[in-house]
Structures are given as structure tokens and as C-alpha cells.
Amino acid sequence: MSDQGGTPADDFPHGAGNPARGALRAAGYTRLAQLTTVTAAEVLALHGVGPKAIRVLREALAAEGLAFAGE
């Protein structure tokens, strides 16, 4: 999904699912690296984010050498 400027609205993996990606954007997160400031439990508490999204996001973070806060 892109905004009108042609840049991605976020850089979250599509495997996380649209509800989860929308919940993250609604909470003010638009970049994967921003998730290093919150715990997986905090992200899981967002409406629309489930265990599968957490797994996909954790894998994407790890691929970049990053992790949720406290991991």
C-alpha cells in the first residue's frame, strides 16, 4: 500500500496481516525499527494484532538485527 507520494505507508511485512499493520499505523508506528522501543506484549495488546503478527514482526526484526524491547 502506498500513499499519494508513492512511498510506502509503512515497512512492516505483509505477512503480519492488514489488520495488524493498520493497528500499528493507528498507534503511530510506521517503521519496523520503531518497534524496538516497545515490548511484544504491548504490540499484542493493540486491537488487530495477534500471535501470528507478533511472530512475523519478530522474524522481520531479527532479520534486521533488531528485536522488541526487552528481548
Q: Give the model's pLDDT for residue 9.
A: 82
**C-alpha–C-alpha distance, residues 56 and 65, integer Å:** 14
Q: What is the pLDDT of residues 2-15, one digit of tens each?
A: 445 555 688 999 99
Q: Give the model's pLDDT for residue 25.
A: 96
pTM of this structure:
0.87
Domain assignment present for 6? no
- Its domain, for residue 51, covers 15-64
Q: What is the pLDDT of residues 18-64, one digit of tens each?
A: 999 999 999 999 999 999 999 999 999 999 999 999 999 999 999 99
Domain assignment present for 4? no
Q: How many residues does the chain have?
A: 71
Domain assignment present for 33? yes
In the chain, what is the greatest distance between 2 CA atoms, to the nearest angstrom? 36
Domain assignment present for 51? yes
Domain assignment present for 7? no
Q: Give the model's pLDDT for residue 43.
A: 98
